[in-house]
Structure 1
Amino acid sequence: MRRRYTATILIASLLIASLMGVLVHAQEETPNIPEYDIIIVRNDDLIDYIAVQPYAKLLNVPVLPVNPQGLDEKTWAQLYSYVQLGWKKVLIVGNSNAVSKEVEDELLKMGYSVTRIGGDVRTETAEKLAVHFYPSGSKAVVLASALDYGSALAASKFAMEYELPMLLTLENDLSEHAIAGLSNLKPNLVIIVGTGINQTIETKLKNMGYQTYWLGRTVEKPPVSPPEEPSPYTYSFIGAILALVIAVPVVLYWAKKKWYSHKIPVEVLTEKERIVVKALIEQGGKVKQEDLPDLTGYSRPTVSRIIQELEKKQLVEREKVGKTFIVKLVKEIDLREY
Structure 2
Amino acid sequence: MAIELYGSSRRVVIVGGDDTEGLLNSQMAALQTDSPILLIKEDEIPGSVREALDRLGVREVILVPSKISDSVKDELRSLYSVEEFPVFSEGKGLFDLRILDIALGLLLGVLLSLVLRRERREKVPMNVLTSDEERVVRSIIDGGGEVGQDELYGLTGFSRPKISRLVAELVERDLIEKTQFKRTFKLKIKKEFISDGWKG
Q: TM-score range by the shorter chain?
A: 0.3 to 0.5
Higher relative contact order (CA 8 A, sep 6+): 2
TM-score, normalised with respect to structure 2: 0.41
The higher radius of gyration belongs to 1
